[in-house]
Every structure is written in C-alpha cells, then in structure tokens.
Amino acid sequence: MKWVPVTSPFHSVFVAHLLFFASRVSFFFGGALFSAIFFRHLPELDAFPPLAQAFVKSVYVAATLFGLFCYSLELDRFGKAMERRPPERSE
C-alpha cells in the first residue's frame, strides 16, 4: 500500500463520498454473508463434520471475509485519492 500510489482520473467530493459509502456498505454484505452461512448450517451442528472438512470450510469463509475487507480498504483509498486535489505547482 505504501509503494503503489492511487491516482484518480478526476476529482470529485461527491463521487469520493459515494466510494466511502460503498466501502462501508461492503461490510454489511460481508456480515450478511457470514450470518447467512452460520444460520443456514446451525441446525446441522448436532453432527459435526470431519475436522479437515470443517477447517477447510472455515478457512474459505475467513478468506472470503478478508477479501471483502481488502476490497473495502481499496475503495476507501480510491475515495481519498479522489477527494484530494493535487498540489498546485507554483513556478
């Protein structure tokens, strides 16, 4: 994140705020996804799956949630880049 600068094709505070909103809303979808998976499989918890299968599925869900987290961070970075105006050059 330090070495790859985010550049914006144009600068707009309104569009930047829309990107900030989209970055926050993506967490709602991640929470809804986790809740849907958890409550869908809650009745099946009386018989546990094999440990390897449960581990693989848990890693898959955690990786998906981490991907959504990274996506929201990138939207936030792009929104900040779009909100900022480049410094004016004085010559």
State whether residue 28 is helix, strand or coil. helix
Percent of the chain with pLDDT over 70: 85
Helices marked H in the chain: 13-41, 51-83
Q: Residue 88: pLDDT band by 50, 70, 90 thresholds?
A: low
What's residue 49's pLDDT?
A: 73
Q: Average pLDDT in the 18-23 region?
A: 90
What's residue 31's pLDDT?
A: 81
| pLDDT digits 0-9 by tens, 36-78 | 877 777 666 667 778 888 889 889 888 988 998 888 888 898 8
Query: What is the rounded CA–CA span in Å between residue 29 and residue 11?
Result: 27
Q: Average pLDDT in the 26-34 region?
A: 81
